[in-house]
């Protein structure tokens, strides 16, 4: 510490505080010829290794994976208890086809082609509709037989 006689002691104390705060803000430089943190002498410069500091541009080499473009197609197949099936196809938000009648056998084949987990429940619905139709046919045949008997009685 040096004493400056041209300024008052209060001014000297405030200037020392300002010097201390400046020294704290700036990192201390080692003496000339002293080794730095990298083990090199202070005058020596480290070789500029630009590949470590700069990020590489473009895709990394060896990255052959490409982002696949997805297409949104929604196929909706709707069945009724009577065994009637309809299909609708939507591409994004645009309807391609609506209300297409599809045979139950075609729905069953398509489900089997797609996945076994799909074909099981669909076949159950189709079989239930088939049994319901068979019961309806049996009932209509019985009604037809009764109508034929009534007609025969009227003719005789």
Task: Give residue 1's pLDDT.
Answer: 44
Element (H, E) at 19: helix 9-25
pLDDT tens for each residue of 101-132: 999 999 999 999 999 999 999 999 999 989 99
Task: Give residue 3's pLDDT.
Answer: 46
Number of H helices, E strands in the chain: 4, 3
| pLDDT greater than 80 at residue 133 | yes
pLDDT tens for each residue of 35-55: 555 555 555 555 555 556 776
Lookup result for tokens 């060896």: 62
Task: Give residue 153's pLDDT.
Answer: 92
Q: What is the mean pLDDT of the chain?
A: 77
How sure is the predictor about 70, in pLDDT bands with cuts at 50, 70 and 90? confident
Task: Give residue 108's pLDDT.
Answer: 92
* Between residues 18 and 53, the one the model is more confident about: 53
* Between residues 156 and 29, the one the model is more confident about: 156
What whole-number distance in Å separates Cα of residue 123 and Cα of residue 109? 10
What whole-number distance in Å separates Cα of residue 6 and Cα of residue 12? 9
Task: Give residue 37's pLDDT.
Answer: 54
Q: Report the pLDDT averaged over residues 91-96.
A: 92
Burial of 107 (0-12, 13-18, 19+ CB in 10 A): buried
Q: Report the pLDDT averaged over residues 77-98.
A: 91
């Amino acid at each position: 510490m040096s004493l400056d006689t041209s300024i008052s002691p209060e001014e000297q104390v405030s200037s020392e505080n300002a010097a201390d705060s400046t020294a704290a803000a700036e990192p201390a430089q080692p003496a000339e010829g002293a080794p730095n943190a990298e083990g090199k002498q202070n005058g020596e410069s480290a070789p500029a290794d630009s590949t470590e500091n700069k990020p590489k541009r473009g895709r990394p080499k060896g990255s052959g994976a490409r982002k696949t473009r997805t297409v949104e197609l929604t196929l909706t197949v709707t069945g009724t208890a009577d065994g009637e099936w309809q299909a609708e196809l939507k591409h994004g938000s645009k309807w391609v086809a609506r209300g297409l009648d599809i045979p139950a056998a075609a729905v069953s084949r398509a489900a089997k082609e797609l996945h076994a987990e799909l074909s099981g429940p669909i076949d159950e619905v189709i079989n239930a509709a088939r049994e319901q139709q068979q019961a309806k046919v049996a009932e209509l045949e019985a009604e037809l037989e009764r109508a034929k008997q009534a007609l025969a009685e009227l003719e005789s």
